[in-house]
Structure 1
Amino acid sequence: MQLRSYASDPEPDPPPTLTQQVERLKAELAVTQQALLERQARLNEAQQRLVLISKIARDDERCRRAPTVSWAALYCGPDNLARIGTDLPIA
């Protein structure tokens, strides 16, 4: 059985040229690289947070004196994470 083609049927898109394929792949690569950079930044932040929590959790006396400093490692923003350290003075 043959399908008839009508004049109103749209023409199929021509296959992409090699240049178009390369450009599409470059765009996909750029998006993938950006996603990787974002995930690496999130991983780095999580590692910093875990190291800080680990150091604070090992100092039982400090946790008892200043529990808010311990919780700050969990809830502070990424830009403030580097400023919080185990040497942070306790008031």
Structure 2
Amino acid sequence: MTTPKAAAERKADQRKREAERLAALGHQVMPFEMYQRTAEALDRICAAGGFEQRAEVLTLLIHSADQIAQRDMSRFNELITPPRST
């Protein structure tokens, strides 16, 4: 008969499983600097789409941009061209 694990052991096991899961998915942390206008634009995109997590929006935008690039480079170039200042 095995003895029940202490809370600290269970938490350590949980952290290990989560680390293994993230490693299997190729998880990466990518810190970057963001300026105020970019942060405001991202917040507007989050609000427009009803998203709570900025990371989710960034992930979706990256995958959508990738799909556009594969289908139509002119649309992709339009997407990534910085807006002109007025």
TM-score under structure 2 length normalisation: 0.34
Largest Rg, 1 or 2: 1
Higher relative contact order (CA 8 A, sep 6+): 1
Q: TM-score, normalised by structure 1?
A: 0.32
